[in-house]
Structure 1
Amino acid sequence: MAVAVQQPSVPAHELVYERQQLPKLRSNHGPCVDASSVGWMQETSVDTPLEEMRRRFNTDGYVFIKHLIPRETVLDSREEYFAHLAPTHILKAGTSPRDGIFNDADDPETHNGVGATRLPDGVDRLDLLESAHVLPKYDELLKHDSLHSFVRRFMGWKNDVLLTRTLLRHNVPNGFSTGIHYDKLFLRKGESEFLTAWVPIGDCTAEGGGLMYLENSQDIGRNVEADFVKRAEHFTPEERINAFNANMARDGQLAHNVDDFRRDYLAGQFGRNGGKRRWLAGNFEAGDVVFHNEYLIHGAVKNQDPEGRIRLSTDLRFYEEGSSLDERWMKVWKRDDGL
């Protein structure tokens, strides 16, 4: 965004939740993240002046907006999704789809969602994951004016375009979810700037499988991408835009283990300061939205919700109308679309 930063930002982890104990967070693989390497995201109320929101976004790479979408709209979509998936036995017997409590008698891997390295077996399960993306209540959520009007005001756009390929993901307790990455990896064809909105569809505590962000890591994402572009000079145009090309991990992620990522990549490329950057987490409520920069490093926390709640969320990407967008993403998600 072309918005000048007028004054330095106070680190987000020093501003909120100062009296709360930091949670024990895990990535897909590896031990808990060291407590000294975890902080809290900064919350932003929806009535905060736009200038301040933009300053936080420019400085921190994200802005965490509280209560942007009506809570009941979000929970209606959650209920619809888990009622839709009920034939897979993902829900604990006797519980409500609106609550989304996991059936812990089953193996979590049999209930992997979109974004996991390995999707569950069975055509019926995969068909349900695909058709969930066109459910009526979900469509209502995607089209809600509170979301689109905010994006236009925040970005200073006359009109916005939401990419058709949204990523409706669930993450069951102790299951496998999204690894560490930045979003530009997967949308390399579009030349214009885009804005990601991560929308938790239901309440999700910090240890409940939501996203964690590597603080002030936009420079790291840009450096990774610049390095890729240099090493991909001999690639065909199709290979250059592919997040799963020869230079990337087989699932397009940078890593699935926070400690490995910090030790093997951050410290090696950026020295001790790079290796010591904090991972920022949050306590998310239905109606909250996190908007983040396309180069900000982030990944999912391993779901360790003590109540057995399944994390459900969606990833949305917005462009300004008329800009050069990634046309590959103008189709509804399919399991074999190669993206």
Structure 2
Amino acid sequence: MATAVQATPTPAHELIYRPGELPKLRSNYGRHLDQDTVGWMRETPIDTPLPEMRRRFEEEGYIFVKNLLPRSDVLDMRRAYFEHLSPTGILAPGTDPVEGIFNPLADPVAHHGNGGRDLPEDEEKVQKLISAHTHPAYLNFLSHPTLHTFVRDFMAWKSDILIKRTLLRHNVPQGFSTGIHYDKIFLRAGEADFLTAWVPIGDCKAEGGGLMYLENSTDVGKAMEEDFNSRAKELSPEERINGFNVNMARDGQLSHDAVELTSAIQEGVHGGERMKRRWLVGDYEAGDVVFHNPYMIHGAVKNEDPNGRIRLSTDLRFYEEGSELDERWMRDVWRPGDGL
């Protein structure tokens, strides 16, 4: 009988760094990141053995799974979303909704899809953002059996729970997008750890507004959370779990300037081991999913897609059934002013 040979994993740095191939990238504010402070995320093929996937997740805080979902299912969701939003004038005239090409004559500020910050003044546009979260195509997408099966297998859970308040967001070119944060900030009421799935709904190049992850930042996120909890001891229980309490920034984010935040972390201002950490980015394709832990620091790249493509994505949080989850996120779908 032949003896099985176990492949030796390629070191992480050899898989996530391809010098000279990255475009210029920046966050909402601040200058573009220097090339030596940016790297490629490690890509994990869907047929990678689960033990290796778990090892990567444990060591790196995230796992970028390629081709997890059927591409056609993801693009069907993208088409449905932009057909739903098309009455707002967000799409370039004469373009196919599945392409999601931004109308160059439209005001980016009037088409934010970020949720609680800087919502459109037009109430009809706000209602379109809200109702997108209960659109039949989206609800069907959330129950995709391939995604739920993978989560249970990857986490070794018997059953999973997807929290009701998901975040379906678009990011128009040159618009304001997600700031830099770690997810535990906003889900402090539950004692159990959760798994976040960031699902790009359509192709998204590195400069197209997708997520970037601060390399090896789980320890920094945990140190920040310990500091915030220490300073929150005098707050009421309700205030202590609030992501917008007096110890936090106005919108709960750590920063909107990746260069500034990186410098502060490297100087030891925000805790964690002093070391040089890069921002890791990816060329995302429809069907890819990135999973990360509650303390991994991440935020969106400024959408500077040369073709005017709108980034569309959803943030999903999974708990193991029976664990102590954040019940606030189970009350309803996202609505402006819900305090979360």
Q: The TM-score by the shorter chain falls in which range?
A: over 0.9
Aligned partner of 1:333 in structure 2 is 334
Aligned partner of 1:4 in structure 2 is none
Q: Which runs of 5+ in 2 are unaligned?
A: 1-7
Aligned partner of 1:93 in structure 2 is 93
Conserved? CA contact 1:114–1:129, under 8 Å? no
Aligned partner of 1:23 in structure 2 is 23
Give the percent of matched residue pairs that are identical in Structure 1 and Structure 2: 63
User: Which amino acid counterpart does residue 334 of structure 1 have in structure 2?
Assistant: R
Following superposition, the deviation at residue 276 of structure 1 comes to 2.4
Deviations 1:153-189 (A, max 9, x none): 0000000000010000000000000000000000000
Conserved? CA contact 1:172–1:310, under 8 Å? yes
- 144 and 272 in structure 1: CA distance in 2 versus 1, 3 angstrom threshold: closer
Following superposition, the deviation at residue 13 of structure 1 comes to 4.5
Q: Whole-Å Cα distance in 2 between the matches of residues 184 and 104 of structure 1?
A: 36
Deviations 1:240-270 (A, max 9, x none): 0000000000000000001111223442336
Count of aligned positions: 332
User: Which amino acid counterpart does residue 203 of structure 2 have in structure 1?
Assistant: D
Give the 5 Å matches for 1:1-339.
Answer: 12-16=12-16, 18=18, 21-115=21-115, 117-269=117-269, 274=274, 276-330=276-330, 331-339=332-340
RMSD of equivalent CA atoms: 1.8
- 99 and 76 in structure 1: CA distance in 2 versus 1, 3 angstrom threshold: same
Conserved? CA contact 1:207–1:303, under 8 Å? yes
> For structure 1, which segment, 319-328 or 115-124, has the greater mean C-alpha deviation from structure 2 after superposition?
115-124
User: Which amino acid counterpart does residue 129 of structure 1 have in structure 2?
Assistant: L
Conserved? CA contact 1:187–1:241, under 8 Å? yes
Conserved? CA contact 1:13–1:280, under 8 Å? no
Q: Whole-Å Cα distance in 2 between the matches of residues 304 and 13 of structure 1?
A: 27
**TM-score (normalizing by structure 2):** 0.94
Conserved? CA contact 1:115–1:177, under 8 Å? no
**What secondary structure, in the 3-state scheme, does the structure 2 residue paired with 1:109 have?**
helix
Q: Which runs of 5+ in 1 are unaligned?
A: 1-7
> For structure 1, which segment, 268-277 or 321-330, has the greater mean C-alpha deviation from structure 2 after superposition?
268-277
Deviations 1:31-50 (A, max 9, x none): 11111000000000111000
User: Which amino acid counterpart does residue 267 of structure 2 have in structure 1?
Assistant: A
Q: Whole-Å Cα distance in 2 between the matches of residues 9 and 223 of structure 1?
A: 30
Aligned partner of 2:4 in structure 1 is none
**What secondary structure, in the 3-state scheme, does the structure 1 residue paired with 2:98 have?**
coil
User: Which amino acid counterpart does residue 227 of structure 1 have in structure 2?
Assistant: D
